[in-house]
Amino acid sequence: MPQRLCDESRAKPAQNGLADAHDDEPERACDPQDVCKFIRARDARDQADDPEHRAKPGSRAGAKEDRADDDGNQRQRDRDRPDADAACDGLQNDDQRGQQGQGEKNQRRANATAENGIFLSLCSFVVFLVIGLTCMKPYFYAQTGDEAIARQGIQYLSVCCIFSLGLFTQTMGEKLLAATGRTYLSMISQLTGAVVNIILDPIFIFGYCGEALSGTTGAAVATVIGQFCGAGMTLFFNLNKNPDIQIGFKGFRPSAKAIGRIYAVGLPSIAMQCVGSVMTFGMNLILMTFSATAVAVFGVYFKLQSFVFMPVFGLNNGMVPIIGYNYGARRPDRVKKTIKLAVCYAEGIMLIGFCIFQFFPDKVLGIFAASDAMLAIGIPALRIICPHFLLAGIGIVMGSVFQALGNGVFSLIVSMCRQLVVLLPAAWLLARTGSVNNVWWAFLIAEVVSLLLSLAFFARINKTVIAPLYGPEEP
């Protein structure tokens, strides 16, 4: 389509019927639908101005002069006609290429991806239902010989897995809301589930609903009910407050292409979750050679670091759809600006976490009623580990950038190198020194390697994915 038609369709939007609240935004890529609307409005205006189409006969007085002025414009418009027809007739096929359906205004592809994502979440529920019915006992008895711990763990996870439909429905619904930029609705659904869980926990745990639903089982039931409440909120929001995605399963058939696109981005995240579990198991084995207190300190550290990392993960949830939209709309400047802002905010959050862990480790550990033995190991541990927060902020943002731009495998490689290839071997080697304090340095070593890999992958992404979005005339 000639660039001139695109430029004309964007000029003086109030005259071609396209003026809206976004007129002040930077120039975007040419939209065939806008061109089509512009052409139709122009043709209607020309017919209204044409002397032969006027209702009043007396208005023909200046017809000859008007024709002389309009002949040149008409000839140009005749030459544009094939392109104009293509713009109006081929709207359904113009945007079938690309990585981001919503950013490209490809409604059918966005709907298909959402529907297949929901289908996959239901399949995941079936898998965890089977796991909850068959695998809980061997899973717990492989890790502990304590009958009481194993029994309570089996009770809790069995309930959570067998009734995990609410969890998968809520998670899928929240991702659909976040993918269309409605992260505040996703937040509301999460808060709903969390608040319901918090309210019901003491009611069930202390046996107010009967002994059968007390204790660990009661805690699991409260968790499941909270998940179903959150799922209900996401269903309501997606059906009534999310017009960017229209979900309808009439005549639905799983699409291999849509599922392939989903797993191309999702498999690295799945693998990263598995890698994290393997790392935790390995670190527990290494620290167990020192004492059970060292293992407890590691567990407390993971709970504490979530207070620092979760805001960054939330920041990433808001960043990913922005990058995806602007990548699909071919706006590289906005992609880069979003990445820079995300890194700055993430580093600010990590700096706050670093200061808290470095200067107030005893106060932080006091939240868990730490014993003197735990304080003796935990205070130096937190001070040694926390500098890696400053490096992790960049790495976390880069991992989400890779996924947003369709290169989730880079995130997987970085995560595996950090947690399996570097962290565990480094921790094992440092444990050979006989000092548990040396083991904590493995976190900083692993984060340095992770940051270097992330920067190298981003340089490649910038060269092969972001830079080509600029036109030949742009820098």
* Tens-place pLDDT, residues 289-314: 888 788 889 988 988 888 899 899 88
380 vs 264, more confident = 380
Mean pLDDT, the chain, rounded, equals: 79
- Over pLDDT 70: what percentage of the chain? 76
The residue type found at 153 is: G
Q: Where does the pLDDT of residue 85 fall: very low under 50, low under 70, confident under 90, or very high at 90 and above?
A: very low
Q: Where does the pLDDT of residue 106 fall: very low under 50, low under 70, confident under 90, or very high at 90 and above?
A: low
Write down the pLDDT at residue 34: 58
Q: Where does the pLDDT of residue 66 fall: very low under 50, low under 70, confident under 90, or very high at 90 and above?
A: very low
Comparing 81-95, 106-120, 155-169, 211-225, the range with the smallest average pLDDT is 81-95
Q: Where does the pLDDT of residue 451 fall: very low under 50, low under 70, confident under 90, or very high at 90 and above?
A: very high
Q: Where does the pLDDT of residue 277 fall: very low under 50, low under 70, confident under 90, or very high at 90 and above?
A: confident
Q: Is residue 3 over pLDDT 80?
A: no
Structure token digits, residue 326: 């602007």
pLDDT digits (tens, 9 = 90+) for 321-366: 889 888 888 888 999 999 999 999 999 999 999 999 999 999 988 8
- Which span out of 24-33, 87-96, 154-163 was modeled with the highest average pLDDT? 154-163
Write down the pLDDT at residue 84: 45
- Over pLDDT 90: what percentage of the chain? 36
Write down the pLDDT at residue 468: 87
Comparing 23-27, 45-49, 201-205, 430-434, the range with the smallest average pLDDT is 23-27
Mean pLDDT confidence for 16-31? 42
Write down the pLDDT at residue 105: 54
404 vs 441, more confident = 441
Q: Where does the pLDDT of residue 144 fall: very low under 50, low under 70, confident under 90, or very high at 90 and above?
A: low
Mean pLDDT confidence for 205-210? 85
Q: Is residue 65 over pLDDT 50?
A: no
pLDDT digits (tens, 9 = 90+) for 149-183: 788 889 999 999 999 999 999 999 998 888 787 88
Mean pLDDT confidence for 40-65? 48
Mean pLDDT confidence for 216-241? 93
Q: pTM value?
A: 0.60
pLDDT digits (tens, 9 = 90+) for 47-58: 455 444 444 444
Write down the pLDDT at residue 1: 46
Write down the pLDDT at residue 458: 94
